[in-house]
Chains A and B, each alone.
Chain A
Amino acid sequence: MALAFEEVVKLADLARIDMTDEELTSLASQLDVILDAVAVVSQVAGDDVVPTSHALDITNVFRADEVAASLSVEQVLAMAPDAEDGRIRVPRILGEAS
């Protein structure tokens, strides 16, 4: 199945990646090839097959609620592009269109 250009625009938007029209066009044709090759999965797996999300039979593990050493605020903030008053400083988030 061929991916419409608008669909790829929407996917890039959902993935929060700025891309040019040229890049999106080339990506659309590559995705077509890949989706063609992987679409076979939908033809073979019947309703009677239980999906596997993880190879291990995982059950949730709770640890004891004990205070332990962790990274300091300074260590974490040192990685941030910008910080102020013990917090990560980010560009404005209010007044956005979407």
Chain B
Amino acid sequence: MNELTQTSARGLAQMIRDGEVSCEEVTQAHLDRIAEVDGDIHAFLFVDGERALASARRVDAKRAAGEPTHELAGVPVALKDAYVYQGTPTTCGSRMLENWYSPYDAAVVERLQGADMIILGKTNLDEFALGSSTETSAFGPTHNPWDLARVPGGSGGGSAAALAGFEAALAIGSDTGGSIRQPAALTGTVGVKPTYGGVSRWGLVATASSLDQPGPCARNALDAALLHQVMGGYDRRDSTSIKAPMPDVVGAARRQDVSGMKIGIVKQFGGEGFAPGVEQRFHEAIELLAQAGAEIEEVSCPSFDLALAAYYLIMPAEVSSNLARFDGMRYGLQAGDDGTRSADQVMRASRRAGFGDEAKRRIILGTYALSAGYYDAYYGSAQKVRTLIIEDFTKAFASVDVLLSPSTPTTAFKIGERVEDPMAMYKADLCTIPVNLAGNAAASFPAGLSPEDGLPVGVQVMAPALADDRLYQVGAVLEAVLEQRWGGPIWAPLTKEDQR
């Protein structure tokens, strides 16, 4: 493996700036790596090497001409295939959009291009981001680089696996109930869900609009912060975009200081259903943060026990209305128009052919939750639980600066293991969901490898809305002390080729 693919994003940008290596060489190294391993990993649905190299040569020319470039200029990035990017297909992992090309670019894409970053291609995801394993993609599952027989998590398993497979230095995800953080935990990478409204959703295909949030994926905390800074900020095209200054996420990641910080441990997330190896690494992380000067206390958030239930009513309800736009008439797949069928019949046939089992399941569940007679008992009650969860967060953040929990109850599970058991699959997002319902910020950072199975464990940091910087403060410290302990980054074992 070319060492450039193991270098941090910040390091690559520095090397390019210093003229040690060209952006074209960096891009080529990643394209070579994709060619070498992606047949096994299947992190990407689409790679445009020619376009990436052309962009790289433009960055090299800019540098040669002495023009100013961005801090992350020349860094190769992978884009979750839920974002529109002109000239590439945007499938959302669905047959419904298999051959669809967007006529415009997502806000996030504009930001990446504005920062002179190199988009390598589009990464795999659960269909319309509906899933926790990337197995519901219509184009086949993504494999976890730590063990190809296991899932990389989901929905953003492609972006996380691209990082763990050294196919990209940075990646973009979107998080509705854990789709950035859960794959990060399962692949030993960093994934951040910013405060709702912190990053523009313009051009992100909607899953559940009140929960969806774009965010950065990386192999270390500082790289994630640098990408967060590029992506974030106000955008008038997203009606829920927050008009407030971005928290200083990069400064927080660089500061690496948690002395005097009050960290609350969520009492509800542990015990039954949590793997012993996950709990062990989680408790070690708490100890290390205490040694670094943080004050630790246990915090009770009783309504978090209801978050999964509320989420699986609110999310499908929003999904059922968002996916109503795929009607086989205006864009996307049209099936069964033989000239004799009515528009309504073609619509039904198109949605049958275009949506996979999980999408259908959630559309129908959402239709049920919103239907007359059940609305109050299900959707209405779930919205009340949402209030209770927000109140739990408010109460907790009155006494602590951040909350901590394992990111996921278990490490990566086997491909196929939970496909026939939706509730078992849904529980993978147990710890990540409360934050989406409340709209505040959270991230998953590596906490080491589970002694049980040698697979990565993630620790989740949760912060109040607009205090995204605190995530990086904690994550960067944890990363530094853990690297010291193991003598290198968590992903070091992956750099040995015989591991694969």
Contact = CB atoms under 8 A, between A and B. Distances in A.
B70 interface: no
B136 interface: no
A16 to B, nearest CB: 5
Contacts of B259: none
Given A41-B306, A81-B329, A11 B364 contact: yes
B390 A55 contact: yes
Nearest to B316: A34
B255 interface: no
Nearest to A33: B423
B274 interface: no
A38 B309 contact: yes
B344 A45 contact: no
A96 B344 contact: yes
Most A CB within 10 A of own CB, among B348, B368, B387: B368
A92 B387 contact: no
Nearest to A49: B384
A58 to B, nearest CB: 7
A77 B438 CA distance: 39
Interface residues of B, number: 67
Given A11-B367, A16-B351, A56 B439 contact: yes
Given A14-B371, A52-B383, A56-B196, A37 B240 contact: no
B367 A15 contact: yes
Contact of A38 (B312, B341, B364, B380): B312
Interface in B337-354: 337, 339, 341-349, 351-352
Interface string B375-402: 0011011111111101000000000000
A14 B364 CA distance: 9
A40 to B, nearest CB: 5
A17 B422 contact: no
Given A18-B349, A95-B342, A33 B422 contact: yes
Contacts of A8: 364
B439 A81 contact: no
Contacts of B320: 15
Contacts of A63: 236
A88 B423 contact: no
A3 B337 CA distance: 33
Given A34-B312, A41-B310, A51 B383 contact: yes
Contacts of A90: 329, 343, 346
